Amino acid sequence: MSGPALRLALEIDGDGAHPASWRRSAHSPDHLLTPRRVARVAAGAENAGFTLLTLEDGALPPGATPDAVGRIGAVERAAFIAASTSVVGVAPVVPLTYAEPFHVSSQLASLDHISVGRAGWVVSEETRAEAASVWGRPLVDGAEARALESRDGVEVVRALWDSWEDDAVIRSVATSRYLDRDRLHYVDFTGDTYAVKGPAIVPRPPQGQLVVLGQPDRVPAGQLDIALVEGRDLAAVGASAATAGTPRVFAEVEVALDTADATAEERVADLERHAPWSDRGRLRHIGSAAGLAALLGELRGVVDGVRLHPLVLDEDLPELSRLVLPHLFERRHAVRPLPGASLRTHLGLDRPANRYAAAAAQEDAR
Amino acid sequence: MTRTDPLDVPRPDAQLHLGVFFQGVNHWTIWSDPASGSQIDPANFRRVAQTAERGLFDAFFLGEGLRLREVDGLIHDLDVAGRPDALTQLAALAAVTDRIGLVSTSNTTFNEPADLARRLSGLDLLSEGRAGWNVVTTDNAWTGANFRRGGYLDHADRYRRAEEFLTVARALWDSWEDGVVSGSAGAPAWAALGAVRQVRHQGPQFDVDLAPTLPRSAQGHPVIFQAGDSGEGRDFAARNADVIFSAHGNDFDDALAFADDLRRRLRAVGRPDDDLRILPGTEIIIGATEEEAQEKKRWIRLQQVTPATALGIAGLLWRLDLSGRDADGPLPKEDPVVAENDGSFGARRIVDPRQVVAEWREKADANRWSLRETVIALGPQRGHVGTPAGLADKFAHFVRHGAVDGFNVTPYLIPDGLDDIVDLLVPALQERGVYRTEYTGTTLREHLDLRAPLTHRSTTDHRQAG
């Protein structure tokens, strides 16, 4: 198989993709929610050569007893990681089912400033009914209603990112003006259920717009930079990728690797005694590092990148770092991000023009 | 100021606490000087926080913006504007600082308790017990236009909501027993069974029923800051806060009267009267000599109050568009307009503008001041000006007499504005035994020498020394 080199993303929430992953972790459970743990995982993934780290989230506990029920907010973790890394991109999961788009826009724009242009955003949904109570809002019931909230929310967040033109701060000493107010814009969004005025309080993010990731059947393709596609085999992934309609497509891949102590099969079986690794219809590789490298090689040409979901971070990340990623880099099947570049640059995405500046320029040209 | 014999003062061993406020979106922040750095570059936030930490400050504060300021429907363009989301920026600073407290100004009107409590908890865990929350409220629909929640709360309702908000937040923070998360991967469960309690709250403002996702931090839960100055705001602080910001830090008698009033209010709600730290916001201008400090102040005021800013401030008082007038000429001849308050920044509550204008005219005539000179001389006064030794004596007097517990300093320049304070004032304070020479604790609660959180105490704890 041939094709352009892949970009590699890694989901690093909790102890891994399996709900019982904490049982095989190298640290004790009470270290999960510490800064050292958060920084160590991020540093390991950055050093391995991943382009992007994603952080799953939700306002409710991530699992149920006896498994882990604790989780620090993804935006806070992402900001902490951004300040303790220098190259890797970082994208928190933020659902808009109930959240205030103005706050979400400010938080994510701030993350892009903090990381100097390395931020992304995974748009998700709050599907659990109890989440409505977290937000003091009426239940958003059904897939269609949730998709509507995501659509409106992403629209508002993106509009607010553009509400400051890049050169809005002029510091004109002669006229005493810090801002050129003509370069700030009210977004004046009016949807079915709410309206937002703007402009943002945070200047435009360094990337202009953060890299927005999501499922193409849940968020309009025009609002996504990267579609996250599923499928149990290459054909299914290929079919989803072909119809995604987004600038980039990443395949979701669940991974359990052989280690020195146990085979991947044994590791999965050990955890399955405690809880099932639910089948979400994604590609799943349980086996050797070489097998995974071969599978990823085959995905070139089908997708632009992959997001890996390791069974147990403490066991699988070292194998990915030691065997899989070097194999891919050596053959130029995947690309390691370069220092000093933005996440958009790493992904081959242009820095978008500002919708309001573009409109103003058109106006001038008439 | 002469030094006082420590034996004659009410609090001979009192220690001064310093915080830094980054960064007002107002004209006090100078942006026109070549030394003025970016207001959004993360390197400048890091630089100020690390400088404050080098100076053994208790805390680094960030303000909150929910709508850009406007005057008469136009975005205010003369002052610094644009800042990061406070909590997000502080979570980043947790990674590059070790000891300093990180305090987020977060609004109770346009947030929900379960979401905000979780974010603050996350900051508290990522900083290992250094988080603080400056509780603020908003009462206008103008800000609400940025939120799906929208709407308007009148002045009384906003405090009712804030108080219930805090009650819910504390219930969420206290819902995990200490040490519930297992210390071994071989344990039967990640967290001890039944040790994480579902939080159910039904009240006039909030109806919450959920399982919180985070344990207590090293300091129990975030330290509560509050900045109300009305009687209602002071009572709110007396009931709920660990630290109060005030605008009463310039004049000793005024500061002492404020502090005495708060101590009365604390006793009235059954708290020890040393249970609340009083940290007025201030500006500190330092010179090698008194003359040099005064000269520096003159320069700073001219940078802060530019001709356009002078016309803007006077315009707010007169409620007239004065742009295009000569700021270096006389005061406007017109009478001020008495206008409705729409909640935007431009519509400050000025009780009777006619009376203020009359005072301004009288003093401007007597001193032959221009409009700009009048604004500088009679506009809001703030800050302390002097030599390191003079200021250290003055501050020791303030703190040993119980007028303040410290100051929350806003540098007039970013990112170097704290350097003089840390390099010159802090050593002078240390020489006088009124400032720490090293951090003795790791949490913000320890830095501030506070007791356990209010919800973690029995009544007997109140009598224990802090």
**Does A132 contact B at CB distance below 8 Å?**
no
Q: pLDDT of B382-391, one tens digit each? A: 799 999 999 9
Tell me whether A99 touches chain B (CB under 8 Å): yes
C-beta of residue B104 within 8 angstroms of C-beta of residue B123:
yes
Kindly identify which residue of chain B lies nearest to residue A66, measuring between CA atoms: B189
Put simply, whether A130 touches B (Cβ < 8 Å) is yes
Q: Which chain A residue lies closest to B32 (C-alpha atoms)? A: A173
- pLDDT at position B154: 75
Residue A141 burial by Cβ neighbours in a 10 Å radius (0-12, 13-18, 19+): exposed
Q: State the pTM of this model.
A: 0.95
CA distances from A287 to A19, A254, A257, A262, B288 (A): 19, 11, 5, 11, 71
Structural tokens at position A126:
């709050």
Please tell me the predicted confidence (pLDDT) of residue B346: 52
Portion of chain B with pLDDT greater than 90, in percent: 76
Give the chain A residue nearest B218 (alpha carbons). Answer: A34
pLDDT over 60 at B345, yes or no: no
The alpha-carbon gap from B343 to the nearest alpha carbon of chain A, in Å, equals: 15
pLDDT tops 90 at residue A361: no
pLDDT higher than threshold 80 for residue B7 = no
Mean pLDDT across chain A: 96
How sure is the predictor about A365, in pLDDT bands with cuts at 50, 70 and 90? low
Digit-coded pLDDT (tens) for B200-246: 999 999 999 999 999 999 999 999 999 978 898 999 999 999 999 99
- Confidence band (pLDDT; 50, 70, 90) for B122? very high
A41, two tokens: 């995982």
pLDDT higher than threshold 60 for residue B465: no
Cα gap B87→B125, rounded to integer Å: 13
For residue A350, the 8-state DSSP code is P
Chain A contact for B127 (CB, 8 A cutoff): yes
Mutate to test the interface with B, among A15, A57, A114 (most CBs of B within 10 A): A114
Q: How many CB atoms lie within 10 A of CB A129?
A: 10
pLDDT band at A122, cuts 50/70/90? very high
State residue B5's pLDDT score: 54
> Which of 103-122 (A) contact B at CB < 8 A?
103, 106-107, 109-111, 113-114, 116
Asked if B386 contacts B421 with a C-beta cutoff of 8 angstroms, the reply is no
Of A29, A34, A133, Cβ closest to residue B207: A133
Choose among B95, B112, B119: nearest Cβ to A83: B95
Residue B463 has pLDDT above 60, yes or no: no
- A103 to chain B: which residues are within 8 Å by CB? 85, 110-111
Q: Which of A126-140, A280-294, B75-89 has the lowest mean pLDDT?
A: A126-140
pLDDT reading at B61 higher than 60? yes
Could you give the dihedral angle defined by the CA atoms of residues B418, B419, B421 and B422, in that order, rounded to the nearest 10 degrees? 110
CB-nearest partner of A79 from B67, B91, B190: B91
Which residues on chain B are in Cβ contact (under 8 Å) with A168? Answer: 82
**Residue range A66-115, pLDDT digits in tens:** 999 999 999 999 999 999 999 999 999 999 999 999 999 999 999 999 99
Mutation for A interface: B62, B97, B148, most A CBs within 10 A: B148
Paired residues of B243 in beta bridges: B225, B277
What does the pLDDT look like over B399-456, one tens digit per residue?
A: 999 999 999 999 999 999 999 999 999 999 999 999 999 999 999 999 999 999 998 8
Chain B residues with beta carbon closer than 8 angstroms to that of A164: 82
The arithmetic mean of pLDDT across residues B124-142, rounded, is 93
What's the pLDDT tens digit per position in B135-177? 998 878 889 999 988 776 777 788 899 999 999 999 999 999 8
Residues 224-243 of A with CB under 8 A from B: none
Centroid of chain to Cα A86: 17
CB within 8 Å: A171 and B80:
no
Using the Cβ of A39 and the Cβ atoms of chain B, whether some distance falls under 8 Å is answered with yes
Q: Which residue has the tokens 């804030």?
A: B162
Interface test with B, best of A38, A110, A171, A274 (most B CBs within 10 A): A110
pLDDT score of B466: 34
Give one word for B227, left, alpha or beta, with left for phi > 0 and alpha for psi -120 to 50: alpha
Identify which of A38, A130, A181 has the shortest CB distance to residue B126.
A38
- Higher-pLDDT residue of A108, B26: A108
Q: How many CB pairs under 8 A join A and B?
A: 235
Domains in chain B: ranges and CATH: 6-177+196-283+382-463 (3.20.20.30), 298-378 (no CATH)
For residue A33, count CB atoms less than 10 angstroms from its CB and return exposed for 0-12, middle for 13-18, buried for 19 or more. buried
Nearest to B184 among A28, A38, A199 (CB): A28
Which residues of chain A are within 8 Å of residue B67 when distances are taken between CB atoms? 197, 201
Q: Is A213 helix (H, G, I), strand (E, B) or coil?
A: strand
Comparing A9-23, A33-47, B2-16, the range with the smallest average pLDDT is B2-16
In chain A, what are the domains?
7-161+204-365 (3.20.20.30)
Which residues, numbered 56 to 95 in chain B, qualify as contacts with chain A under a Cβ-Cβ cut-off of 8 Å? Answer: 65-68, 74-75, 77-85, 87-89, 91-95
Alpha carbon of A130: minimum distance to chain B alpha carbons (Å): 7
Reported ipTM: 0.97
List phi, psi (to 5°) of B437. Answer: -105, -10
From the list B65, B74, B149, the residue facing A100 with the nearest CB is: B149
What's the gap between Cα A74 and its chain centre? 10
Pairwise CB contact (< 8 Å): A59 & B123: no
What are the chain B neighbours of A203 within 8 Å (beta carbons)? 40, 82
Question: Given CB atoms, is A36 within the 8 Å cutoff of chain B?
Answer: no
CA distance B72 to chain A (A): 13
Q: What band does B344 get if pLDDT is binned at 50, 70 and 90?
A: low
Given CB atoms, is B17 within the 8 Å cutoff of chain A? no
B150 close contact with A: CB closer than 8 A? yes
Of B113, B112, B246, nearest to B170 (Cα)?
Answer: B113
Give me the mean pLDDT over the B273-278 stretch.
Answer: 96
Q: What rounded mean pLDDT belongs to chain B? A: 91
**pLDDT of A338 strictly over 60:** yes
Contact list, A201 vs chain B (CB under 8 Å): 65-68, 81-83
What's the pLDDT tens digit per position in A327-337? 999 999 999 99
Please judge whether A29 and B81 are an interchain contact, meaning their C-beta atoms are less than 8 angstroms apart: no
Of A59, A110, A136, the CB nearest to B88: A110
Optimal mutation site among A103, A115, A121, interface B, most CBs of chain B within 10 A? A103
In three-state secondary structure terms, A157 is: helix
Q: Which residue of A has its CA nearest to B143?
A: A197
Do A199 and A184 meet the contact criterion of CB atoms below 8 Å apart?
yes
